[in-house]
Structure 1
Amino acid sequence: MAKLIETEEENLLAEAARSLLDKSAPLSHLRHMRDSGARSDPALWQEMVAAGWAGVLIPEAAGGVDMGHAAAHVLAREMGRTLTVSPFLSTAVMAATLLRQFDDATTKARLEKIASGGLTYAFALDETAKFAPDSIQLTAKKRGNGYTLNGKKRFVVDGCDADRILILAESEEGPCLFDFANTATKGLQRDALEMIDSRDAADLTFDEVEVTGDALLGAAGAGYDILKPALEAGQAALAAETVGLSQAAFDLTSSYLKERKQFGTTIGSFQALQHRAAHLWCEIELTKSAVLNAGRVLDETPKEARLAVSVAKARATDTAQKSVQEGVQMHGGIGMTDAFDMGFYMKRARVAAEWLGDYGYHAGIVAQLRGF
């Protein structure tokens, strides 16, 4: 049984992360980015790189610090508190987890570039309105020593600004995973999405896009097996970010309950609101435990992490929804205004709910693994 108590090192990491983010990426920074039309913040990412965050899951031999998934979740949780915009999940968590499965010079060089801040990644997985990586329509047809890609990918997070994209496609041999440079390429159409959480995402259309055989990661047909560890790492880290979001929204609401008065009485003294706040606090604490457990399992027995990861992602999605809904309701009309921060948390919670599988997707996995 994984130990569900954060270590002293993890607590110190959280304090350091909170200090950096409160200074360089408060929620007002996201508001400014939205108002200015910026999708990403390269300078902020380089600040995180300097703190070692980009190498949190990269081996020391490749320039990383290799602190493990539980540590990565600490960082993701703190980013969730301030809704920090960065390629951390796509690059430092998912791409690093995927690439470290290989032991060759090219992959090591790319891991080194991730750790040093010189390379970012996006994942092109979704093709429909719902996450379904095992149902692929984008095709990879063998042509000479390479492949030709045809089809569409939707909701590619970091898809506009990432340096490279990992693309899941279906070939005659089965699912294939390609490591593709995200540059102007004949036949590739990139359409930026206007996301409600004001972050970088794109739809990609492939029309006879040619890739070399070197772009194929692993064996043809093994794409989903190669992708699986990265998916689980990303889902768990996203759950950690989402629980950080839930905590921040709860803190915002709690402060308001202590300040707002009606009929000369602080509304936090109303028993009905106290009960609702207490229930939400319990939900957040349970979800924190589920996320911490997922991190421990990923670090200790990664091949057995599927259940823990889906429990964490499902709970985090549900808890975030409760947290932002209660926040808006307890604030009354002001909670719906753009001048107030709660709306930013609600928008991010909605996007995070869909990315890498929604509540229904992960609840279905939990039910299946439990024998229902």
Structure 2
Amino acid sequence: MNFQMNDEQQMLADSARSFVRANSDVEKHRQNKQLVKLDAATWQQFAELGWLAVPFEEKHGGLGLGVTETMVLLESLGEGLIMAPYIATVVMGGGFLRHARELVQDEKIPALIEGKLQLAFAAEEYERVFSLENTAMSGEVQDNGIVLNGTKACVLNGDQADLLVVLVRTEGAVGDRHGLSLMLVDANAEGIERLPHRTVDGRQGAEVRFSNVLVPHEFLIGELNQAADIADSVLQEALLAISAECVGSLSVLLEQTVEYSKTRQQFGVPIGKFQALQHRMTDMFIAMEQTRSLLLAATLKTAEGHKDAPRAVHAIKAQLGRGGRKIVQEAIQIHGGMGMTDELGVGHYAKRVTAADGMFGNADRHLMAMAAARP
């Protein structure tokens, strides 16, 4: 699929690639072994570049852009494995803020755009294949608010977020779509315990435990028991963002593998001369083009409000797991033992794509969802 960027999108891509050239190298990824807070200066640079303002309305200080511009930005950042909580804070957190009460929007969105507020979406739970309907954590509705009890697992940016967007069950049983509610919760509120951890790709998250945490009714997002549609729409944009970032990473994997095949010699000739490896790199190229085309199709359908957009989003997430795995495995195989080490960028990109496959449902889950969404 052909996609021609307009001037605004090209500026976003150029600024992101310039940032990547100045701030991304293998040594920085190798050093990411400790749980450390995001450098405040880096996040402030995101704000100064205008990236935090991309999806928000001008009345809140945003740029009034959409999912297409977010895709362009994140694909470029994915080329450098930039480990900033953009998806957690801007795409998901900001997406939910746009559905909050107007007074909350007026206060929180400008703070986010200025780099003074970070968010995280607490949805995953232990021992449950991810889907909104599988949410079991309880929210007890009382006159003065909703009391939260339970544990959320692998909350991306949960260790550093100032606000948590928490998905809970306030009515019904596990498996019901009705009865889900979303609320904004102060991450430092009494009764919240955060246990930070690193993910396989070196990023940071947290297990978040809630013990009798009272959330006033005004911090509900949407209507009580009616949050499923809002969560679906924000997750759709998040899945596109994750896929865009990984398409950037996969393109680098392909490029580095082809370049390596030209310099690594065996039996006195570059290994790229061997027909068997040429065939394998051709398969990588085909998988790359299929993945990028599906990303473009899903993004443009979402931007246009096409009725088939949800199915297209499931398709790109499924392809990310299947086609992405093909590119990752071939890249490691062609690089040999070095592909498994931290010495080369290949291993770091492979871990990122592998981790992304499991976020909010893996390839198999989205393939089944895509099939179920057929008209």
For residue 186 of structure 1, report the CA deviation from its aligned partner.
2.9
For residue 179 of structure 1, report the CA deviation from its aligned partner.
0.5
- Structure 2 counterpart of 1:263, one-letter code: F
Q: Distance in 2 between matches of 1:245 and 1:233?
A: 19
Name the structure 1 match of 2:264: 260
1:352 has 2:356 as partner: yes
- Structure 1 counterpart of 2:333, one-letter code: Q
After superposition, give the CA deviation of every residue in 1:66-91 in whole Å (9 maximum; x if it has no partner).
22101101111112111111111112
More divergent stretch after superposition (190-199 vs 227-236)? 190-199
- Structure 2 counterpart of 1:165, one-letter code: L
More divergent stretch after superposition (93-102 vs 228-237)? 93-102
Name the structure 2 match of 1:147: 146
Between the aligned residues of both structures, percent identity stands at 31
1:178 has 2:183 as partner: yes
User: Alpha carbons of 1:17 and 1:113: their partners in 2 closer, same or farther (altered >3 Å)?
Assistant: same
User: Alpha carbons of 1:247 and 1:141: their partners in 2 closer, same or farther (altered >3 Å)?
Assistant: same
Q: Distance in 1 between matches of 2:324 and 2:148?
A: 37
Q: How does 1:319-358 map to 2 (within 5 A)?
A: 319-358=323-362
1:273 has 2:277 as partner: yes
Q: How does 1:226-241 map to 2 (within 5 A)?
A: 226-241=230-245
- Structure 1 counterpart of 2:196, one-letter code: A
Secondary structure of 1:134's partner? helix
User: Alpha carbons of 1:225 and 1:159: their partners in 2 closer, same or farther (altered >3 Å)?
Assistant: same
8 Å Cα contact 2:97/2:104 also seen in 1: no
More divergent stretch after superposition (51-60 vs 40-49)? 40-49
After superposition, give the CA deviation of every residue in 1:86-131 in whole Å (9 maximum; x if it has no partner).
1111121122222223461221221111111111110001113532
Secondary structure of 2:315's partner? helix
Secondary structure of 2:133's partner? coil
Q: Which of the numbers 41, 44, 53 marks the counterpart of 1:43?
A: 41
Q: How does 1:25-44 map to 2 (within 5 A)?
A: 25-32=24-31, 34-44=32-42
After superposition, give the CA deviation of every residue in 1:191-223 in whole Å (9 maximum; x if it has no partner).
112322111111112121221122211210111
Secondary structure of 1:197's partner? coil
- Structure 2 counterpart of 1:234, one-letter code: A
1:249 has 2:253 as partner: yes
More divergent stretch after superposition (273-282 vs 91-100)? 91-100
More divergent stretch after superposition (98-107 vs 326-335)? 98-107
For residue 27 of structure 1, report the CA deviation from its aligned partner.
4.1
Secondary structure of 1:252's partner? helix
For residue 158 of structure 1, report the CA deviation from its aligned partner.
0.5
Secondary structure of 1:193's partner? strand
User: Alpha carbons of 1:151 and 1:35: their partners in 2 closer, same or farther (altered >3 Å)?
Assistant: closer
Q: How does 1:181-196 map to 2 (within 5 A)?
A: 181-183=186-188, 185-196=189-200
Name the structure 1 match of 2:105: 107
8 Å Cα contact 1:40/1:199 also seen in 2: no
- Structure 2 counterpart of 1:179, one-letter code: L
Secondary structure of 2:132's partner? coil
Moved over 3 A (4+): 25-28
Q: Distance in 2 between matches of 1:344 and 1:67?
A: 31
After superposition, give the CA deviation of every residue in 1:140-163 in whole Å (9 maximum; x if it has no partner).
101222011111111100000011
1:62 has 2:60 as partner: yes
For residue 37 of structure 1, report the CA deviation from its aligned partner.
4.0
Q: Distance in 1 between matches of 2:91 and 2:275?
A: 43
8 Å Cα contact 1:30/1:85 also seen in 2: no
Secondary structure of 1:82's partner? coil
Secondary structure of 1:227's partner? helix
For residue 294 of structure 1, report the CA deviation from its aligned partner.
1.6
Secondary structure of 1:207's partner? strand
Number of aligned residue pairs: give it.
Answer: 367
Q: Distance in 1 between matches of 2:61 and 2:306?
A: 22
After superposition, give the CA deviation of every residue in 1:1-56 in whole Å (9 maximum; x if it has no partner).
xx841323333422221011211234433333x14542533322211111111111
Name the structure 2 match of 1:223: 227
Name the structure 1 match of 2:165: 166
Q: Distance in 1 between matches of 2:38 and 2:296?
A: 28
Q: Which of the numbers 82, 85, 91 marks the counterpart of 2:80?
A: 82
- Structure 1 counterpart of 2:325, one-letter code: Q
More divergent stretch after superposition (127-136 vs 173-182)? 127-136
Name the structure 1 match of 2:123: 125
Name the structure 2 match of 1:5: 3
1:310 has 2:309 as partner: no
Q: Under a length normalisation based on structure 2, what TM-score does the superposition of the two structures give?
A: 0.93
- Structure 1 counterpart of 2:163, one-letter code: R
Q: How does 1:291-306 map to 2 (within 5 A)?
A: 291-301=295-305, 304-306=308-310
Q: Distance in 2 between matches of 1:193 and 1:206?
A: 17
Q: Distance in 2 between matches of 1:107 and 1:345?
A: 36
Q: Distance in 1 between matches of 2:347 and 2:226?
A: 42
Q: Distance in 2 between matches of 1:58 and 1:255?
A: 40
Secondary structure of 1:325's partner? helix
More divergent stretch after superposition (39-48 vs 306-315)? 39-48
Name the structure 2 match of 1:24: 23
- Structure 2 counterpart of 1:337, one-letter code: T
- Structure 2 counterpart of 1:178, one-letter code: M
Secondary structure of 1:153's partner? strand
Q: Which of the numbers 93, 97, 116 marks the counterpart of 2:95?
A: 97
Q: Which runs of 5+ in 2 are unaligned?
A: 173-178
